[in-house]
Structure 1
Amino acid sequence: MKKIIGLLFLMFLMISCKTGNEGYILPTSNGNTNKIMVVVKGEDWQGKIGNQIRTVFGEHQVGLPQPETLLSVSQIDPSGFSSFMRHGKAVLIIKKGAKESITVEKDRYAQPQIIVHATAKNEAGILNMLDKRGKEIIQLFKDEDVRFTQRIFKKERIDETGFKTIKNIGLTIDIPKRFRLVEDSGDFIWFRQHLRSGIARGDGTNNVLIYTIPLVDENTVADNITAVRDTIGKKHIPGSKEGMYMITEQAYTPFTFDAIIDGKKAYETRGKWEVKNDFMAGPFVNYTIIDKKNNRLVIFEGFTYAPSVNKRDFLFELEAIAKSMKIK
């Protein structure tokens, strides 16, 4: 009887576990966000194909104080892509084949995992594909990283129903519990996370702001993003002394792109902030969402203060939080 119970329990565990394409239980993938492993022959990595990969994936993320690439890449030869090396979270396989294609596999050898296969007939075809479709490949990895990060944040999210501003605006958002409330006025809310590791000048911070303003003219929204954030900074984000407050860095023009948040037209703006009459500064990412139903703009802004360390991954977490937002 005990053997039967034990066997049934084992069968239950096997059924409950995630299985791969070949039916076996998948191990947990390894690797950090914004990092990919490229599977390509060593001779190609040292030649034109490797140079093209480094050029495409080595593009700098806009809005950061120091140069940082969109994605970090490492290389492994196909002969070494076996055993635990196949458990990478994000893998790009470059290979030659009869037909040019970009295909995606999910959870092939581990979970969660994305493998992008980029295939072309010869070296010239691979170079052309990387040139023409490199941004598409990057976006596949970035989108998967956003989903991966959001799944983590969803498990440890704050209960936003207790905050006046979020309730008044009418939205849901997955903000991790490590963020603490700074201000909740009813029409403006500010959360802050302290970053204690590796910061030269005391504690660094990651910050989330959410607020709304009336929608006056949809055609001028993008042009007014900087002016709006400067007004909010003067009112809500003070410096250490009177007359000091956060503004958009005057020596650096922000970059604005089209975006979609919760199925709604939005603008993504990346740039640098500074404190007026002080030396504090850092990067920000702003999502201005056109909420036509309620005739308003819903604005999410994340900004980071982390002197002496790279900031790409901090901004990426703020991006993932913003893209979890649902407006009721």
Structure 2
Amino acid sequence: MKRKLEYRWMLWCGIWAVVTFLAACDHLAKPSSSGRPYEVLVVVGDSLWQRPAGRALFDVLDTDIPGLPQPERSFRISQTDPQRFNQVLNIFRNIIKVDIAPNQYTQTKMKFTRDVYAQPQVVLTIQSPNEKDFAAFVQKNAQSIIDFLVKMEMNRQINELEKKHSEVVSYLADSIFSCQFWAPVEIKSYKKGKDFFWASSNTASGLVNICMYSYPYEGPRTFNKQYVLAKRDSVMKANIPGTEPRMYMATDTLCTSVKPIAVKGEYAMETRGLWKMEHDAMGGPFVSHSRVDTLNNRVVVAEGFVYAPEKMKRGLIRRLEAALYTLCLPGEQARELKASIPEVSVVAGKEQE
């Protein structure tokens, strides 16, 4: 009996070793994906791409990013016919496949797979019985398609931040707020205030900045737009002055929006819009998360803002936005919450986290 048990144990160990080895080989065999963040390759027939169904998908991907001073598209779009989809193109980081087959499908749906040809990679497939249904589907689910691809990219950026991030920002977040926070590694200069810090890359172009501040939680009214923006303006006026005494940072309230979101499964408020320097020509986009620190009965705000008058700002602000999701409030570290953004659930057959 003892010998049989030993034999079974050795057999299972051997099987497990083989499975692990094959999985590792499969992982190592895949090349690194190509393309820059927020680039999308659409695999669809050339003629279909020019017809209403193809134009419907193009229009979804070609929408502007909210909260920027100048129009910038959500994605950089490329297209290839399935016959040209070869080993050079199939390693693209974000791929959308259009599959219209009247004899194969009775309804339109989406599904996705990860790391099919390369890593990291996502392949989103939209299946439909006809072009009319396809166009209606992508128009109805436009925001979900955009959100899905954006969150995939942000999760990749979060993974990179986990490996390499600003030690300065991490130290400030811990020492002032007892929080964990990963910000882009180039952010090194900083200024501290009462329940506040401002850290910056301090570069000649493409200036990226992170702020954190806190204030007492006073119930539901703490999260209305007027209250949130008034708090922001008072904090920024006190802590981020201009080159002259009458200059200070403020919010362009007409170009700013707020909405509730979930961060690590908890309520948060996202504020997105434009900042300006009063009595000066400086300005740019910002995005922030306001969250309740229940252990200390306070609101903790993490914000990223950009000053880059000579550059496109899409990549800069989205990288800072990804960093906001890494913030762990006191007590969250012990729960080992994953620093990532759940993908949207509209995708049929969605993989579970």
The TM-score, its normalising length taken from structure 2, stands at 0.81
Letter in 1 for 2:319: E
Alignment of 1:109-148 (within 5 A): 109-148=117-156
Q: Which residue of 1 aligns with 2:48?
A: 44
Partner SS for 1:324: coil
1:30 and 2:34 correspond: yes
Q: Which residue of 2 aligns with 1:213?
A: 215
- Name the CA shift for 1:85/1:164 in 2 (closer, same or farther; >3 Å): closer
Partner SS for 1:249: strand
Q: Which residue of 1 aligns with 2:61?
A: 57
Q: Which of 225, 228, 247 is matched with 2:250 structurally?
A: 247
Deviations 1:64-119 (A, max 9, x none): 01001222211111111111210000001111131422111100000000000011
Q: Distance in 2 between matches of 1:185 and 1:272?
A: 23
Q: Which residue of 1 aligns with 2:196?
A: 188
Q: Which residue of 1 aligns with 2:276?
A: 274
Partner SS for 1:19: helix
**Structure 2, unaligned stretches of length 5 or more?**
1-17, 331-353
Q: Distance in 1 between matches of 2:55 and 2:215?
A: 46
Whether the 8 Å CA contact 2:169–2:182 is kept in 1: the answer is no
Q: Which residue of 1 aligns with 2:175?
A: 167
Compare 60-69 and 104-113 and name the one that shifted more.
60-69
Whether the 8 Å CA contact 1:289–1:298 is kept in 2: the answer is yes
Q: Distance in 2 between matches of 1:50 and 1:231?
A: 48
Whether the 8 Å CA contact 2:169–2:183 is kept in 1: the answer is no
Compare 85-94 and 292-301 and name the one that shifted more.
292-301
Measure how far apart 1:167 and its partner are: 2.6
1:322 and 2:324 correspond: yes
Compare 151-160 and 36-45 and name the one that shifted more.
151-160
Letter in 2 for 1:29: S
Q: Which residue of 2 aligns with 1:95?
A: 99
Partner SS for 2:26: coil
Measure how far apart 1:247 and its partner are: 0.3
Whether the 8 Å CA contact 1:262–1:325 is kept in 2: the answer is no
Q: Which of 6, 11, 19 is matched with 2:26 structurally?
A: 19
**Structure 1, unaligned stretches of length 5 or more?**
1-10, 197-202
Q: Distance in 2 between matches of 1:323 and 1:162?
A: 14
Q: Which residue of 1 aligns with 2:263?
A: 261
- Name the CA shift for 1:164/1:138 in 2 (closer, same or farther; >3 Å): closer
Whether the 8 Å CA contact 2:68–2:274 is kept in 1: the answer is yes
Whether the 8 Å CA contact 2:42–2:97 is kept in 1: the answer is yes
Whether the 8 Å CA contact 2:193–2:239 is kept in 1: the answer is no
Q: Distance in 1 between matches of 2:178 and 2:22?
A: 40
Q: Distance in 1 between matches of 2:170 and 2:119?
A: 34
Measure how far apart 1:160 and its partner are: 5.8
Letter in 1 for 2:234: T
Partner SS for 1:270: strand
Partner SS for 1:69: coil
Deviations 1:250-309 (A, max 9, x none): 5x3311122122322111111111101111111111111123343211101111000032
Q: Distance in 2 between matches of 1:253 and 1:118?
A: 34
- Name the CA shift for 1:195/1:85 in 2 (closer, same or farther; >3 Å): farther
Q: Distance in 1 between matches of 2:83 and 2:274?
A: 44
Whether the 8 Å CA contact 1:157–1:176 is kept in 2: the answer is yes
Partner SS for 2:244: coil
Q: Distance in 2 between matches of 1:324 and 1:181?
A: 20
Letter in 2 for 1:149: Q
Q: Which of 79, 84, 87 is matched with 1:80 structurally?
A: 84
User: Runs ≥4 in structure 1, deviation > 4 angstroms?
Assistant: 14-18
Let me know the Cα RMSD of the aligned residues.
Answer: 2.2
Partner SS for 2:255: coil
